[in-house]
């Protein structure tokens, strides 16, 4: 199938982002409640940013902040992330992501496309979870855990998405239209590169997708220094998060 001209895609994407920014201004910015780190909120930050939606962050900085949030009755299951938007207090990461994707037309055009998007993103979530919990791994187990993650990346997950792109020859994973699957995958590819840049060497279509999505104006802005995008968690940040959430 033929690719759509890049300029046409960008023009349509820019028009959609202008409309989204207007809607956000009228309704108020989403407010994200989490600690000042990646964790499970980072995919939400990525998706909102890619959709061209500005948001505010209310960081949980102390155990007292955490207690107050829980005691206020905002957390259905006593867990964060919490996102306030459209008059709702949304919890559970995948529910939040699905709401954002649906609202901003990043969830396919019909039930079949949504099924594909869900299958792809569930696989990404499995791999992302391994990366998220890596900093909590005991030092004597870390090398083995990293080796397992690399093996799963190159043998199980990345080949699937490379094959999908090769099978239809289109610019995006589903329906030749930007969806949350593309955004989540590119976020994941950045984490892959942080772990070991050589892991992408045998996946040229994934590398091309990463470049393509990274050059979308909203994503490009999010990748710039000073954006809400969070860096890899370091030892100091990890200890602070453990203190806030009283993790032993």
| pTM (two decimals) | 0.88
pLDDT, tens digit, 9 for 90 and up, residues 14-42 = 555 555 554 544 468 999 999 999 999 99
pLDDT at 1: 45
Q: How confident is the model at residue 248 (pLDDT cuts 50, 70, 90)?
A: confident
C-beta atoms surrounding 172 within 10 Å: 20
CB neighbour list of residue 182: distance below 8 Å, 6 or more residues apart = 172, 173, 209, 213
CB neighbour list of residue 211: distance below 8 Å, 6 or more residues apart = none
What SS3 state is found at 85?
strand
Q: Are 50 and 183 in contact (CB under 8 A)?
A: yes
pLDDT at 85 over 50: yes
How far is residue 1's CA from residue 145's CA, in Å, rounded to a whole number?
40
What is residue 9's DSSP assignment? Answer: H
Token pair belonging to 42: 């980072």
Q: Dihedral sign for Cα 207, 160, 91, 78, please.
A: negative
How far is residue 75's CA from residue 60's CA, in Å, rounded to a whole number?
13
Length of the chain: 248
Cis peptide before 81 (omega within 30 of 0): yes
Q: How confident is the model at residue 6 (pLDDT cuts 50, 70, 90)?
A: low
Instruction: Give phi and psi for 106, each to the nearest 5.
Output: -120, 30
pLDDT, tens digit, 9 for 90 and up, residues 115-148 = 999 999 999 999 999 999 999 889 999 999 999 9
Domains annotated on the chain, with CATH: 29-104+225-245 (3.40.30.10), 111-215 (1.20.1050.10)
């Amino acid at each position: 199938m033929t690719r759509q001209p890049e300029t046409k895609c960008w023009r349509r994407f820019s028009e959609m982002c202008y409309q989204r920014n207007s809607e956000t201004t009228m309704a108020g910015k989403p407010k994200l409640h989490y600690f000042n780190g990646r964790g499970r909120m980072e995919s939400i930050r990525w998706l909102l940013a890619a959709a061209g939606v500005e948001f505010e962050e209310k960081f949980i900085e102390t155990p007292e902040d955490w207690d107050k949030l829980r005691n206020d009755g905002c957390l259905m299951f006593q867990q964060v992330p919490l996102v306030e938007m459209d008059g709702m207090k949304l919890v559970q990461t995948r529910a939040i992501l699905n709401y954002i994707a649906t609202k901003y037309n990043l969830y396919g055009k019909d039930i079949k496309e949504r099924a594909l998007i869900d299958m792809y993103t569930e696989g990404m979530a499995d791999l992302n979870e391994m990366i998220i919990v890596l900093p909590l791994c005991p030092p004597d187990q870390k090398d083995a855990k990293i080796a397992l993650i690399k093996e799963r990346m190159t043998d199980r997950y990345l080949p699937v998405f490379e094959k999908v792109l090769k099978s239809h020859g289109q610019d995006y994973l589903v329906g030749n239209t930007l969806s949350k699957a593309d955004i989540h995958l590119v976020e994941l590819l950045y984490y892959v590169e942080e772990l070991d840049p050589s892991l992408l060497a045998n996946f040229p279509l994934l590398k091309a997708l990463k470049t393509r999505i990274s050059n979308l104006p909203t994503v490009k802005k999010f990748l710039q220094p000073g954006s809400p995008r969070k860096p890899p968690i370091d030892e100091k940040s990890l200890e602070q998060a453990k203190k806030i959430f009283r993790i032993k």
